[in-house]
Amino acid sequence: MITVSELSKAYRGFTALDDISFTIKPREVVSIIGPSGSGKSTLLRTLNLLVLPDAGQITIGDESVNAKNLHRININRLRRKTSMVFQHYNLFRNKTALENITEVLRFARKLGRKEADEKALEYLNRVGLHDKASSYPAMLSGGQQQRVGIARALSLEPEVILMDEPTSSLDPEMRRGILKLIAEIASQNITMAIVTHEMNFARDISNRLFFMDQGKLIAQGTPDEIIHGHAGGRIDAFVNDFEI
Ligand code: ADP
Ligand code: MG
């Protein structure tokens, strides 16, 4: 269970997150939608404390941090509850596909070399890349690099996987493959929060959609409630720009 209450973040006086509260239940898949600049990335980055909040509380499982009380040890503990898939993959260029995964397993999870190798191979297999273990990112297509990013996030076996526009850097053909992979993962009882502009995908795989605008979480509901709910104003205007 993830509980966020009254979360706020400003960048030099500019409010990027404005009093955000929500819960995400175990095994729930939530897609975060909304216009560019509405605070979607900031919200995900605050959930794993890459960005530190100015106010509010985040609880993931049995770990909690409050903006008033940000200690390194609590930050690290909460961070271990999450893993992130990035738009630009964020792979180490000088490490193979396998090493990109074993590196985090060994240093963030303290696994031994053999255990890390086994787990990394298991997850590369799961994303269809068992034959690319020793390839460097430069030798892989964008879609394959994102598969490594997804395998790495899965291998950490976190309470929640956070994905920030995981298909935005890909051309349409590869995008389809990655959307299919994420849909498969979503159906496997993994808790996920995904920022995406892929409205059909979001509708199909999500238990709920969160709609953000100008730093506020202005609506949360089932895909049907958000897309066909005629909430009016900004949401209808946004949703109507997509052919659903
Ligand atoms: P989204 O992901 O919805 O496009 P972001 O969370 O990236 O939105 O950004 C929300 C707002 O915060 C934007 O206006 C953006 O310019 C601003 N912002 C994001 N990161 C920073 C930063 N590191 N410093 C200053 N402003 C930022
Ligand atoms: Mg963003």
Domains identified in the chain, total number? 1
Kindly give the distance from the C-alpha atom of residue 16 to the centroid of ligand 1, in angstroms, as a whole number: 6
pLDDT digits (tens, 9 = 90+) for 92-149: 999 999 999 999 999 989 999 999 999 999 999 999 999 999 999 999 999 999 999 9
Q: How buried is 186 (Cβ within 10 angstroms: 0-12 exposed, 13-18 middle, 19+ buried)?
A: buried
Q: How confident is the model at residue 195 (pLDDT cuts 50, 70, 90)?
A: very high
Q: Is position 34 within any domain?
A: yes
- Tell whether the model's pLDDT for residue 43 goes beyond 60: yes
Q: Which residues pair with 10 in a beta bridge?
A: 15
- Give the other-Cβ count within 10 Å of 23's Cβ: 13
Measured in degrees and rounded to the nearest 5, phi and psi for residue 81 equal -80, -10
- Domain range for 223 is 1-81+158-166+191-244
Residue 91 in domain = no
Q: How confident is the model at residue 239 (pLDDT cuts 50, 70, 90)?
A: confident
Q: How does DSSP assign 20-51, residue by residue?
A: EEEEE-TT-EEEEE--TTSSHHHHHHHHTTSS
CATH code assigned at 219 = 3.40.50.300
**pTM for this model (two decimals):** 0.95
Average pLDDT of the chain is 94
> What is the predicted pLDDT for the residue at 227?
85
Q: Which residues surround ligand 2, an ion (CB under 5 A)?
A: 40-41
Answer yes or no: are the C-beta atoms of 209 and 221 closer than 8 Å: yes
Ligand nearest to the CA of 210: 1
